[in-house]
Amino acid sequence: MMFESSQFDSMPGGATGFVSSQTADPSPSSAKSRDNQPMYPVTVKQIIEASTSADDKSNFLIDGISVYNVKLLGMVFDKSARVTDVSFVIDDGTGRISCNRWVNDSQDTQEVEELTDEIYVRVHGHLKSSQGKKQVVVYAIRPVKDYNEIANHFIECAHAHSCNTRLQHNGSASLASTTVTTPNKAHQTISSSQISQEYNLDGLGSIDKMVLDYLQLPSSLAQEKGIHRNEIAQKLKVSQEKIIEAIESLESEGLVYSTIDEFHYKSTAS
Amino acid sequence: MDTSNPAVFVNAELLRMYVGRRVRAVIQVLRNDGGSIVGKSTDEQQLVVKGHPSSPPTTFVEVIGVADTNQSINAEIWTNFGDNFDTASYNTVCQLANGDFKHLFI
């Protein structure tokens, strides 16, 4: 699977059911290593304000990370169908962006025939900049049937944004130091590792988050018996009491569990 | 592309900040007077929506248009959101779009 279908399953806004089926949409096109880049939920305004990196015009920086694939949700305008492709504009209330969908087979044709002005659709595609204009090259279009998806999409955008910006700003000691010591899976970019660490963090304190981050490290997940809480305290330079407190709260959230004894803990995400 | 004309997510409380500007709101229809609809905003206050929906409104409708007064919207686009809608989530988005996450929206 090229996208992690569980990425956003636990959104604070409720209405979770439809999320996984949509992210599971395999996009057969697209070149190079970009296939394994995650889908990033964005508002049109974020795309418009995204900067392209100097070396690679097809890479866009949103929330300080490189974004290629995006999820958008908005209203269709200015649909214009040609033999081989359909162009339209998505207006999500934050701005407007041109979209283009190539039509290759009958399934594609069916997909674009459903498209009419002023209906809400969810669009998956990748960002492209040509002649200074940004556009979305669309892989998939799904008409919105359950309008709760709208609120859910924007909450997802806010959630992804705050996860990424918080990680960068806090530079949480634990994360910064450990990325150096643990060889992050080869080519994995910051973006994908950050996004894949999203879970329901509502109400978690910063120490809780640090402990969880530590237990989520590949090196920690690899330990069959889990990690001793003393080690966590030592590595994070936080007092035993605070660690115990954090573990208790994480355990009650179902994010970690004790293993061989009440001192060793593992993340449930493994 | 055109960003000049965003339509901000609003509830009744936020509407008053945008008089004369484009907004979007979800209304629970209470009464259809023909030419205007009286409804309840996602923060449970009364709003008036002026204009003619293209099809008979369902219980929940989303309207996009210009904030006319601090209690009414001149609707241009109507979308039926059905009879079952989570107004609390939508109201949360209104708050996010005008609060901590404003820069993602407007």
Q: Whole-angstrom distance between the N-terminal and C-terminal Cα of chain A?
A: 17
Task: Give pTM, 2 decimals.
Answer: 0.66
User: What one-character DSSP code corresponds to residue A161?
Assistant: H
Q: List, for residues B75-101, the tens digit of each pLDDT value.
A: 999 999 999 999 999 999 999 999 999
pLDDT at A196: 40
Dist CA B104 CA B50 (whole Å): 29
**Residue A6 pLDDT more than 70?**
no
Dist CA A207 CA A193 (whole Å): 20
Q: Which residue of B has its CA nearest to A48?
A: B1
Please list the residues that pair with A144 across neighbouring strands: none
pLDDT at A202: 54
Phi, psi of A236 (to 5 degrees): -90, -5
Which residues in chain B are contacts of A46 at CB distance < 8 A? 104
Dist CA A135 CA A126 (whole Å): 8
Q: Which residue of B has its CA nearest to A165?
A: B101
Give residue A184's identity as a one-letter amino acid code: N
pLDDT at A91: 96
Dist CA A35 CA A263 (whole Å): 40
Dist CA A69 CA A66 (whole Å): 10
Q: List, for residues A175-216, the tens digit of each pLDDT value.
A: 333 333 333 343 444 444 444 444 445 556 788 888 888 888
Dist CA A52 CA A83 (whole Å): 31
Dist CA A59 CA A127 (whole Å): 8
pLDDT at A22: 39
**Residue A41 pLDDT more than 60?**
yes
- The segments of chain B whose pLDDT lies below 70 read 1-4
pLDDT at A219: 82
* Nearest neighbour of A134 by CB, restricted to B1, B60, B85: B1
Q: In the predicted model, what is the mean pLDDT of chain A?
A: 77
- Give the Cα-Cα-Cα angle B37, A91, A113 (nearest 5 degrees): 95
Looking at per-residue pLDDT, the higher value among A196 and A78 belongs to: A78
